[in-house]
Chains A and B, each alone.
Chain A
Amino acid sequence: MKKRILWIGLMILGAVAVAFIVNLALVIRIPNTQMQVTMTEKFNFPSNQWVFSPPSSAASKKVIRPSADLLYSILCYDVSQHPLRVTAMLSEYSSISGFSMNTDNFFVIDDNQAKSNPIEVVLISKGMTYQDTTGKAYVITAPSPQGILMIGAVVTSQADLPNLAQIQKQATAELVR
């Protein structure tokens, strides 16, 4: 009888251990899968190009909980082969940020922190080197070769919208070959 109880206990313990391992393995895959789906199916933007988005509205369904008060530009980066150099004018209350495939926000620089305006960021992948000769660029190592860069600017009034859009559309991106 005791042996039987011990045996059942061991089986339950084993099932719990397997459940934990399977659960964790699946959970770890969720961020990467969601980022992949967002980049390739929802956005479907060409790599390494800024894409300007109009202000979010009730029709915006690509990303959950969009901000109605921000103007976004999105860039799906791929720095697996070459560094990527981006420049962006940062208007008041705006920032440029990066997201790796595990959803981590691996850098964010806002208009108060930027050492120059337009700000210059050179994104490199692990193992790459880049020598910034200008001293103006932020050289940032991306945790994953692919991911998302975002410029977000607060729309303080509807009257400012055309001007903010114009500023954001001046953002540039080029691979450094």
Chain B
Amino acid sequence: MIVVVAGTSAGYFTVKPVVNLIPLWSNVKNGPWSTNFSMGSTGANPYVRAWVAENGLMALNKSEVIYLDAYSDDDANPLVSSCDYIIQGRAPDARWWDITVYDQDGFLIANDQDRYSFSSTDITFEPDGSFKIHLSNTYQQGNWLPSGNTKTMSIYLRLHNPGPAYLDARTLQTMELPHIIKESSQQ
């Protein structure tokens, strides 16, 4: 009897930690960015499906969209709205892409400009073809993504119809992805 009670309790109380942990094992990582190729796929295991249900319902499979998320900067420090960041890099090889910032609950961050993202069609590129986004809660010239007044943040890079190199875990792990650099802390 004690075995059943102990096992049931352990099984119940470890659901959330396990759901958040197991998909990480199969994640593809590159600097602060990571993705799981099983997202939205009919080949996903029950733990990835549960993670998708709680963290990214209605995710399309990787041939249509790759979702790369970042919870930290290049130095592995958590993204917080009290700091200013630069997201910089070259346009990814995708038919269309966007970079969106979310609050700690995964929702868009309220701001007077109603600016939540920059995409391949509305971002202003540098003369050399690269791009630079200022993630800050104070006005910045150029591509300014307001970070509002939230605790932690996450950044999503969505690649619609990504190029073949993004569909291979080995190349995705080593290719150049946008950098997330902490510029200053306001604290």
Q: Which residues of B contact A128 (CB under 8 A)?
A: none
Q: CB-defined interface of B90-110 with A at 8 Å, one 1/0 digit per residue?
A: 000001101010100111111
Chain A residues whose CB sits within 8 angstroms of the CB of B105 once the complex forms = 64
Q: Of B4, B7, B49, B96, which is in contact with the most chain A CB atoms at under 10 Å from its CB?
A: B7
A23-B18, A61-B107, A104-B41 known; A34+B95 contact, CB < 8 A: no
Binds B, one of A78-86, A118-126, A132-140, A149-157: A149-157
Tell yes or no: B57 within 8 A of A by CB: yes
How far, in angstroms, from A20 to B10 measured CA to CA in the complex? 8
Q: Does A112 contact B (CB under 8 A)?
A: yes
Number of A-B contacts (CB under 8 A): 167
- Distance between Cα atoms of A150 and B15 in the complex (Å): 29
Count of chain B residues with a beta carbon within 8 Å of a chain A beta carbon: 55
| Distance between Cα atoms of A35 and B59 in the complex (Å) | 13
Q: Is the CB of A22 within 8 A of B7?
A: yes
Judge if A176 is at the interface, Cβ distance under 8 Å: no
Interface size on A, residues (CB 8 A): 53
The residue in chain A whose Cβ has the minimal distance to the Cβ of B56 is A65
Complex contact A154–B46 (CB within 8 A)? no
* B14-28 interface (Cβ within 8 A of A): 14-15, 18-19
Cβ–Cβ contact A64 & B55, under 8 A: yes
Give the residues in chain A near B158, CB-CB below 8 Å. 67
B47 touches A (CB below 8 Å): yes
Q: Is the CB of B119 within 8 A of A69?
A: yes
CB < 8 Å neighbour of A60 from B11, B47, B108 = B108
Known: A27-B50, A60-B107, A110-B64. A68 touches B58 (CB 8 A): no
B187 CB within 8 Å of chain A: no
Which partner residue on chain A sits nearest B99 by CB separation? A69
Q: In B125-184, which residues have CB < 8 Å from any A CB?
A: 156, 158, 160-161
A99 within 8 A of B: yes
Please, what's the 1-or-0 string for B37-59, where 1 marks a CB less than 8 Å from any CB in chain A? 00011101011011011111111
- Contact partner of A19 (CB less than 8 A), chosen from B8, B50, B60, is B8
Q: Are B40 and A30 touching (Cβ within 8 A)?
A: no
Does chain B have a CB within 8 A of A46? no
Instruction: Give A16's nearest chain B residue, CB to CB.
Output: B7
B161-A110 in contact (CB<8A): yes
B75 beta carbon closer than 8 Å to chain A: no
Interface residues of A (CB under 8 A from B): 11, 14-28, 30-31, 33-35, 38, 56-61, 63-69, 93, 95, 97, 99, 102-106, 108, 110, 112, 143, 148, 150, 154, 156-157
Q: Can you show 19 pairs from A to B with CB atoms below 8 A apart?
A: A15-B6, A15-B7, A18-B10, A23-B14, A27-B19, A27-B50, A30-B53, A31-B49, A58-B110, A58-B116, A60-B107, A63-B57, A93-B160, A103-B57, A103-B58, A106-B42, A154-B96, A154-B121, A156-B119
Residue positions of B touching A, CB distance < 8 A: 2-4, 6-8, 10-12, 14-15, 18-19, 40-42, 44, 46-47, 49-50, 52-61, 63-64, 95-96, 98, 100, 102, 105-111, 114, 116-117, 119, 121-122, 156, 158, 160-161
With A19-B10, A26-B15, A108-B63 given, name 17 new contacts (CB 8 A).
Answer: A19-B8, A22-B11, A22-B12, A23-B15, A27-B18, A28-B46, A30-B54, A35-B53, A57-B108, A57-B114, A58-B108, A65-B56, A67-B100, A69-B117, A69-B119, A108-B60, A156-B122
